[in-house]
Amino acid sequence: MSPLQPSSLVLRYALIALVLAAVTGAFARVAGWIHWPGSEPTLTPARMIDAFENSMGLHAGFRRNHAKGVCVSGYFDSNGSAAALSRASVFERGRTPVIGRFSAPGGDPSQDDAEASVRSFALLFSVRNGEQWRTAMNSVPIFAVATPQALYEQLVALRPDARTGRPDPAKLNAFLAKHPETMAFRQWIDTHPPSSAFYNASYFSIDAFRFADANGNTRFVRWSVVPDTPYAPSNDRTNPARDPDFLAHDLSLRLQAGTVSWRLMLTPADPGDPVDDATRAWPPARELHRVDAGKIVIERAESQIDGGCRDINFDPLILPHGITPSDDPLLAARSAAYAVSFDRRTREEAGVGTHRR
């Protein structure tokens, strides 16, 4: 990868900074973590969240990433078709309540929605047998980097310089040169303008998971939720009279007129498809065999200050029987860092009286 030219540096590092939060809404479960190759000192969930705070700023009582969001609730209406892939009871024919959260990337809960190039959608399925399925999805089908160490390095490269208040272009160029795998993500962002609303965007699991059917047969699967509302690109970046909170306000207005919905689509992998590298897309032909599992319907929206999603940690490793993680290292990493973020914001509320988000 050739170094970026000075004329394009500002646009490039601004783009990466804006979308980083959405593509890095992920990290790990192991409490003490492990020593990732090449990291000194040991990379832990706490150090990862420290890096988020150093890059995005600290806003006490809020999530360290996706700080700005809105709670939603509704249901998943399964049509039974996905039972051929997984014995998880959530895929049996019938209705499952869901609590969710739409969000924009970044650590600042007051940022302008027009600054976000990515939308995110998290869901908790309350399954009939008492199990839960939690998932955190982004409107980009791939991740920028493949490992926790690379994400940490990206956050360090994005840390604002004390003199300029902006990331150092030399550090960004060095990071991009070291990690050419980020090119696929950057190209996707360049060619896919952000949606004009939360409810007309598609959202993707990004990571692969292992599905097991009633006979013990397994397949690796990625999933997406595809909106029934047609996609439209956002034009609010160039509108001087724009509402800085248009995503949440527009969602509330839309729900006054009726529900919004998506199809939950399950895409099985073929042998040889990458199932442990979130930076690599599967061949488009895989979508020809995806399974329509049913409809996700959102009925209500609430403030994140006191809504149903406020105290939920959308840990992607809370899974029902019939779904297990792949060996993608980002899945272990997502879970642990989410836990650290949750612990910090709830302790801050107890100490300084801020609201949990």
Residues with a known catalytic role: 66
DSSP string, 179-202: -TTHHHHHHHHHHSPPBSSGGG--
* Calpha distance 199→207 (Å, rounded): 22
* Calpha distance 198→150 (Å, rounded): 29
Q: What are the tokens at 69?
A: 């969001």
Residues 155-161: contacts with CB within 8 Å, 24+ apart?
155/20, 155/24, 155/48, 155/51, 155/52, 155/54, 155/55, 156/51, 156/54, 156/55, 158/13, 158/16, 158/17, 158/20, 158/55, 159/51, 159/54, 159/55, 160/55
Q: How many CA atoms lie within 13 A of 326 on its CB side?
A: 23
Q: Buried b / exposed e across 28-65, counting CB within 10 Å, b at 16+?
A: bbeeebeebeebeeebbbbbbbbbbbebbeebebbbbb
Q: How many CA atoms lie within 13 A of 328 on its CB side?
A: 32
Q: What are the tokens at 195?
A: 């949606």
